[in-house]
Amino acid sequence: GKTTLALVVARSLGLSFGRIQGTPDLLPSDILGGSIYVKEKGSFVFQPGPVFNNVVLFDEINRASGKTQSALLEPMEEGQATIDGITHKLPQPFFVIATQNPIEYLGTFPLPEALLDRFLMKISLGYPPRHLELEILKRGSLREDIPKIEKLIDKENLQAEQEKVKAVYVSEKVLNYLLDIAEATRKSPYLIAGLSTRALLSLMLAAKARAVIYDRDYVIPEDIKELAPYTIPHRLIFKEEYSSQGLAIVKETLENIPLPL
């Protein structure tokens, strides 16, 4: 289902797709690529890895070692990858979708905090409702229908929409609401570390995108509150005894902060 979702995103946006399967023996070069000696040319030629696509699915990311996971830091932050001392630009736009197993599963590695911070959102899908699961069983795999999906937008127009998001206005009262949320997490008795400035910038960007979806050129406080449960919890460091209650704690924190009028 996750691979199908990523493929549908890539297909509907007219973008290239790459997939990485997380395993304990996965190497950074399996993600980034590397130089291969070509006998006919008598020289090394760079062979790009799966990260050199517009949409990249990293399945079971926490089965890869921390060192291998960290190979995504530069691509996700800078839109580039440095291999053998040479910097290669990644295709734009660039999205990474990752899935992970529960941390208590055997053979899993926790994601570094710096990498978690690169992901805009974390969503737990859970099981589908019974009526939807019944529909899935009736219809079977939809993978063969993916080539039939029509492109909804071309790459150039998609990038134009991204620029439109950046131009969305954020008032000072909304900015102060963001700071109120950050301050509440930093003072929370449940947390070791609260929200960073980078996290606030990510939440603000997500709120701008939501504003565009709702045909607005400005952010309202409800944009922030609606998206916070998906953009905040994975960026916080909870005390061990509260680590399983992250989402509930974030929602409680938000309810205790009045929305600006």
The pLDDT value given to residue 105: 67
> Which residues on adjacent β-strands are paired with residue 83?
86
Asked if the model's pLDDT at residue 172 lies above 90, the reply is: yes
Q: Could you tell me if residue 230 is inside a domain?
A: yes
The pLDDT value given to residue 103: 66
Cα–Cα nearest to 115, from 70, 67, 75: 70
Find the CATH number of the domain harbouring 129.
3.40.50.300
Judge if 7 and 124 occupy the same domain.
yes
- Strand pairing class (17-21; 55-59): parallel
Asked if the model's pLDDT at residue 42 lies above 90, the reply is: no
- Strand pairing class (237-238; 86-89): unpaired
Residue 111 φ/ψ, nearest 5 degrees: -80, 135
Contact 58, 39 (CB under 8 A): no
CA 200, distance to chain mean position in Å, is 15
Cα–Cα nearest to 180, from 87, 255, 126: 255
Rounded mean pLDDT, 138-167: 85
Of 120, 148, 176, which marks where a domain is finished? 148
Residue 57 φ/ψ, nearest 5 degrees: -100, 120
Find the CATH number of the domain harbouring 217.
1.10.8.80
Rounded mean pLDDT, 117-134: 89
> Which residues on adjacent β-strands are paired with residue 33?
48
Judge if 101 and 217 occupy the same domain.
no
- Take residue 144 and report the two structure tokens written for it: 């063969």
Higher pLDDT, 101 or 39: 39
The total number of structural domains in the chain stands at 2
Judge if 15 and 42 occupy the same domain.
yes
Rounded mean pLDDT, 28-35: 94
Spell out where the chain has E strands. Answer: 17-21, 33-38, 43-48, 55-59, 80-83, 86-89, 95-98, 191-193, 237-238
Average of per-residue pLDDT values in the chain: 91
Asked if the model's pLDDT at residue 104 lies above 70, the reply is: no
pLDDT digits (tens, 9 = 90+) for 43-102: 888 999 999 999 999 999 999 999 999 999 999 999 999 998 899 999 999 999 999 877
Judge if 102 and 18 occupy the same domain.
yes
pLDDT digits (tens, 9 = 90+) for 187-246: 999 999 999 999 999 999 999 999 999 999 999 999 999 999 999 999 999 988 988 888
Higher pLDDT, 147 or 31: 31
Q: What is the pTM of this model?
A: 0.86
Q: Of 20-24, 42-46, 137-141, 157-161, which range is least confident? A: 137-141
Of 148, 179, 205, which marks where a domain is finished? 148
How far is 97 from 196, CA to CA, in rounded Å? 22
Q: Could you tell me if residue 30 is inside a domain?
A: yes
Q: Could you tell me if residue 162 is inside a domain?
A: no
- Strand pairing class (80-83; 86-89): antiparallel
Q: Could you tell me if residue 156 is inside a domain?
A: no
